[in-house]
Amino acid sequence: MISENIRALRKKLGYTQEQIADYLGISAAAVTQYETGTRVVPATSVSKLALLFNIDEYELYQEEPQQQQLLSAFAFRADELQSKDLKSISEFKKVVLNYFHLSKALRNE
């Protein structure tokens, strides 16, 4: 399931395998293997991908990630982005995701 989610989310946001590879510090071939399920995705890559895709890590393992709408709200089209921009985008999304978690926690108190 994680391989399908990585591929679907990457395509939804318009990132290339090469951009993801640069962001993760791996080869494009490794990204292909992640997406086809022929290679296990290391925990460090799962964490980085979750930040970039603006979802919780466990959602990469789910059949339907719950925050697809949130992803759409922060979808940066990758056509004009450089691979180095992905780090900044993932950090921004981390701040937004933390805000949503904090807001939810405060509402539940």
Instruction: Determine the residue type at 44.
Output: T
Compute and round to an integer the Cα radius of gyration of the chain.
Answer: 14
Is pTM beyond 0.75 here?
A: no
Residue 78, CA atoms < 13 Å, CB-side half-sphere: 21
Per residue in 40-74, pLDDT (tens digit) is 999 999 999 998 888 888 888 877 654 454 544 55
Q: What is the Cα 19 distance to its own chain's centre?
A: 12
Count of domains observed in the chain: 1
CATH of the domain at 82: 1.10.260.40
pLDDT of residue 69: 46
Q: Identify the pLDDT of residue 66.
A: 47
Domain, as residue range, for 48: 2-108
